[in-house]
Chain A
Amino acid sequence: MKTKGIWAAILICFWATNLSALDDNAVQVKRAGYALLDMYVKSFQEMATQGSGAGLVEDRLQAMAADAKKAKEAGEINLVFYSRYARLLAVTKLLVQPDKGNILIPVIDREVTDFLLDITGEEPIAYKAGGPPAIGQVANALAEEIINLQIYLDTLAKREALRKKLDETVSGPKK
């Protein structure tokens, strides 16, 4: 009886330590990820209020890209978050940057179409029509992706814990 109690306490101890390590990782990813998402939203909020031009948007996008890269290299965000965030920045930049002579139009159209299909599942009908509805459709997809990333971060710890549990069920605990 006593031995069983001791073993139970030891198991709880290991479980808590493992969970703690798992949580630690998730907390770190969450912090940096939330900050990057906030940077994006706050930048656009400020620029909408101030009526900024493309130059400032470009500067902000560059700063966000640099921070994201730094965070990825420091292991503060995971690859999933980084790739999706980088795509968000890339699509934004394609829409913002001036394309003199319309040289990049095929590339921009292809990327935006893929982005719309991936995020909202919409055909780029409004986008192809051009004008304000086109911008509205893409802006909506960008906003959706930000919310998707935020929810991804919100559920990251639970996701990792479930994944670990599943892996252990399938192949046994790691040695």
Chain B
Amino acid sequence: MDIETNDPEFEEIARLIQEEEKAALEIFRRRDFRREVKARIGGSPTKSRPRVLLRRLPVPAGAAVLLLIAAWAFFFNPHPPVPNTGGDSGSFVAGVEGLPGLAELASRKGHPRPGDGESQGAPQSIRDVLALAQQVRTDEGENAPPGSGNLQVPRLSLEKKMMILFKDRVIERVLVLIRKKSEEA
């Protein structure tokens, strides 16, 4: 297709295009696009990141919190709180260290006594502490007289009970004894 460059309509269109181009360039130079783009690139991470993080955080955080609550309810709620008898920190370790009879037990098992210089820190492991606490509670229970209203601590295992009942036959022995005494009387 031939285009006649002398056509007045073509000249008019070319003139309009040039004017548009000039106006666009003028606007471009006046607004300083390069500076604006740099500012955008420089500022975007700090402005947009929190929004993205905030959008992403609630789901895992909420799930984690719920799971923590569930774990707490499952593992810790059924058990009564450890009595804190004088520990100023109020922590579990302080509570365990304050238990009566622990000092004696600790020395028996080769652990430092509470209040000694070396025992200011936490005990060696949580397993040791729990074992000590359990032992103390068992000892306390065994020292309590029967029928004293102390219904707190299980003291005899099934195996031990079976030994006492079926091997030592304590019930039979007591009943025979009573029968003998009543016959004598």
| Interface residues in chain A, defined as those with a beta carbon under 8 Å from any beta carbon in chain B | 2, 5-6, 8-10, 12-13, 15-17, 19-20, 23-24, 27, 30-32, 34-39, 41-48, 51-54, 57, 60, 63-64, 66-67, 70-71, 76, 92, 95-96, 98, 132, 135-136, 138-140, 142-143, 146-147, 150-151, 154
Contact = CB atoms under 8 A, between A and B. Distances in A.
Contacts of A154: 158
Given A12-B66, A48-B168, A132-B176, A146 B151 contact: no
5 contacts: A24-B77, A34-B155, A41-B165, A54-B181, A135-B179
Contacts of B166: 143
A51 B78 contact: no
Contacts of B151: 31-32, 35-36, 67, 71, 76
Contact of A27 (B78, B149, B174): B78
A contact face: mostly helix, strand, loop, or mixed: helix
Nearest to B76: A20
B175 A135 contact: yes
Contact of B154 (A23, A35, A63, A95): A35
B174 A41 contact: no
Given A35-B154, A53-B178, A45 B170 contact: yes
B15 to A, nearest CB: 59
A47 B154 contact: no
A60 B27 CA distance: 105
Nearest to B60: A5
Given A17-B73, A20-B73, A63-B147, 19 more contacts: A5-B59, A9-B67, A12-B67, A13-B73, A23-B78, A24-B78, A34-B154, A35-B152, A35-B154, A41-B164, A44-B171, A48-B173, A48-B177, A54-B178, A60-B146, A70-B149, A71-B151, A135-B175, A150-B158
B172 interface: yes
Q: Interface size class for chain B?
A: 35 or more
Point out which of B71, B77, B141, B146 has the most chain A C-beta atoms below 10 A from its C-beta: B146
A10 to B, nearest CB: 6
Contacts of B77: 20, 24
Closest 5 A-B residue pairs measured CB to CB? A63-B147, A34-B154, A139-B172, A143-B165, A16-B70
A145 to B, nearest CB: 10
B73 A41 contact: no
Contact of B155 (A2, A24, A38, A98): A38
Contacts of A2: 59
B153 A10 contact: no
A20 B149 contact: no
Contacts of B176: 132, 135
Contact of A44 (B71, B153, B154, B174): B174
Given A12-B66, A54-B182, A132-B176, A143 B153 contact: no
B172 A136 contact: yes
A37 to B, nearest CB: 7
B70 A17 contact: yes
B64 to A, nearest CB: 8
Nearest to A27: B78
A124 to B, nearest CB: 15
Contact of A42 (B78, B146, B169, B175): B146
A45 B168 contact: yes
